[in-house]
Structure formats: structure tokens, C-alpha cells
């Protein structure tokens, strides 16, 4: 029974749909199954008895050596997920190129082979998890897109109020801990209700979108520009003193008001009023910054609109 049993076990090893190879302490290959042959292009005859690195010099030598050495020393299993290391061997996969992966994604198991309690070799298995990895990546991308949509204003595409306030809360906490400068601008379009009444809400929506695009052109990467509600917008300026923030306010005001917005051949003149405030000793919470910027904004309105005012 021993010979047929051995033949059956050999047949199973050859036919299983995952890679199996065995290495000794010197990293020489002792066994190489058909899966490894089919995907590497090298037969058992070509690799057995040689160092794995001689046949595959592109393998991560330091990482693989450490992984195997831990198995030899501890006598316990070790694992590697595709999420930690996408692949060990650069094998082709049979998935569509739209999946976004260049090589077969692999899970690896390192199993000690013992004789009289001594680890004499390590059996490594390679599982093709490309399909699983693609599905998971697609799921993560979908979740990221949903999160992005949840943080964006549906009309203008910039940050919504919820996301803006979360960023302001985080930046205010950073300022409290490390100091420095932090400013906030609030601005809205002057007489926007008259624009809606005269031209209609479709034109009003277009004006808001174009205005947001214009402001986005002058906003830095580290700033957060969001729609606060209706025709009111906010700009978070980390590491920016109020004096510099008011220069930005003037740039925004001019960017909005210097050129009328063309809506299907109709020129719609638009101006904006801006209020600014900054974090400083005595400001107990980030909400106070919003209130102070809002007070400055309404001061600009009372002074005749189309101007920038800092909270004093």
C-alpha cells in the first residue's frame, strides 16, 4: 500500500491548483510542483537542487530569507497576505487588465517540515487570490467614492458644511496644541436673491457653480474651501495670519466680481462680501471663529457690500 499511496500523494501535489515548493536551510529547492512549473515557465528539473535565488534573482531576498529563517528557528507556521505583500513571484494572471493589477496576487504559507523535532525544510504554498484582491480593491474604491461624495456639495462639487467643520475642528485642535496661525473666511454673493428672482433658479445655480470654480483657482492645496449654505461659502486657511488671510479675501472678492458671469449669453454681474477671523488666545472653541467671521461678513454688508472686513 505504501507505493500506491506515495503515487497518489505525488499526484495530488502535482494537480492541486496552488503552488507548492520546498526549500532547505541553504535556500535550495527540494520540490517544485506543476503549478509552479506552469506559472514560472521553469520545470522541476530546472530548479530542483539549485538556490531559489539563482532561478529567480528578482525575489525579495532579504524578506524571504528572514521569513524562512523564522520558521526554521521557531518551528511554527508563517504567513504572508497579498495585502501585506501583493506577490512573491511575478506570475501572470488570467484576469481582465481592467482589474488594475500587473501580476498574480498571492497569499503565501510557510510550513515547517520536521524530522525528529528538527525543522529540516520549509514547504511554501502560493495561492492565487487575484480575483479576491480585485473585488476587494473595487469595493474599497467604491467606498472611497461614496465617502468623497458624502463630503462634497452636490451643486458646486466643493466641500460641504459638514466636512468643512470637521476640518476646521481638526485644524483648531492642532492650533491649540502647537500654536501658530489659523484663519477663516466667510463670504457670500451680494443680492443673490435678486439674481434668482430676475433670472431664475437655474441661472442662480450656474452662478454658484462658476463662482465656486473661480475661487477654487486661487485656493491652496492645504486650504479647505466649502459651501456653508445657500450662497454662503467658507475658506479655512491653516498656518495663515489674519493679515495674510485678508489679502486672500481681497483676491477672492476681485476674482468673483471683476467679470460678469456668462449664462447662455446672459451676463450676470456678481459681487461678494467677505468676513475674516483668526484663532488667538481667548477664543475658546472653533465655533467662535465661525461666529466672528460671520459678524465680520455682516459688517461688510452694512458698510455697503462688495468689500472685505476683518473681525475686530
Give the model confidence (pLDDT) of 132-171 as tens digits.
888 888 888 888 777 777 899 989 999 999 999 999 999 9
Q: What is the mean pLDDT of residues 96-108?
A: 80
Cβ 82 vs Cβ 133: under 8 Å: yes
pLDDT value for 303: 95
3-class secondary-structure state, position 240: coil
Q: Which residues are within 8 A (CB) of 50 and not within 5 positions of it... i.e. 6 or more apart? A: 28, 29
Q: Retrieve residue 301's grid coordinates.
A: 454688508
pLDDT value for 189: 94
3-class secondary-structure state, position 166: helix
pLDDT value for 6: 55
Cβ 25 vs Cβ 78: under 8 Å: no
Q: Retrieve residue 61's grid coordinates.
A: 531576498
Name the pLDDT band for 3 (thresholds 50, 70, 90).
low
Amino acid at each position: 500500500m505504501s507505493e500506491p499511496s506515495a503515487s497518489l500523494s505525488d499526484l495530488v501535489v502535482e494537480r492541486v491548483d496552488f503552488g507548492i515548493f520546498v526549500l532547505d536551510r541553504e535556500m535550495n529547492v527540494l520540490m517544485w510542483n506543476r503549478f509552479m512549473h506552469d506559472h514560472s515557465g521553469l520545470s522541476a528539473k530546472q530548479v530542483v537542487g539549485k538556490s531559489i535565488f539563482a532561478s529567480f534573482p528578482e525575489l525579495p531576498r532579504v524578506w524571504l530569507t528572514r521569513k524562512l529563517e523564522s520558521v526554521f528557528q521557531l518551528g511554527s507556521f508563517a504567513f504572508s497576505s497579498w495585502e501585506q505583500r501583493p506577490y512573491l513571484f511575478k506570475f501572470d494572471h488570467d484576469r481582465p487588465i481592467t482589474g488594475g493589477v500587473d501580476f498574480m496576487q498571492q497569499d503565501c504559507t510557510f510550513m515547517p517540515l520536521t524530522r525528529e523535532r528538527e525543522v529540516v525544510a520549509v514547504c511554501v504554498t502560493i495561492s492565487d487570490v487575484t480575483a479576491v484582491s480585485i473585488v476587494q480593491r473595487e469595493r474599497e474604491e467604491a467606498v472611497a467614492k461614496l465617502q468623497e461624495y458624502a463630503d462634497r456639495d452636490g451643486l458646486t462639487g466643493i466641500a460641504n458644511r459638514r466636512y468643512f467643520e470637521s476640518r476646521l475642528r481638526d485644524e483648531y485642535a492642532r492650533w491649540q496644541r502647537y500654536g501658530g496661525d489659523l484663519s477663516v473666511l466667510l463670504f457670500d454673493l451680494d443680492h443673490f436673491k435678486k439674481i434668482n428672482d430676475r433670472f431664475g433658479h437655474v441661472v442662480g445655480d450656474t452662478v454658484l457653480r462658476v463662482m465656486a470654480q473661480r475661487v477654487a483657482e486661487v485656493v491652496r492645496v492645504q486650504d479647505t474651501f466649502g459651501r456653508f449654505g445657500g450662497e454662503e461659502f467658507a475658506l479655512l486657511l491653516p498656518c495663515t495670519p489674519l493679515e495674510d488671510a485678508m489679502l486672500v479675501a481681497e483676491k477672492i472678492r476681485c476674482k468673483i466680481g471683476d467679470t460678469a458671469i456668462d449664462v447662455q449669453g446672459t451676463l450676470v454681474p456678481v459681487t461678494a462680501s467677505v468676513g475674516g477671523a483668526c484663532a488667538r488666545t481667548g477664543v475658546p472653541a472653533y465655533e467662535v471663529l465661525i461666529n466672528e467671521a460671520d459678524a465680520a461678513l455682516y459688517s461688510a454688508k452694512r458698510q455697503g457690500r462688495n468689500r472685505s472686513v476683518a473681525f475686530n
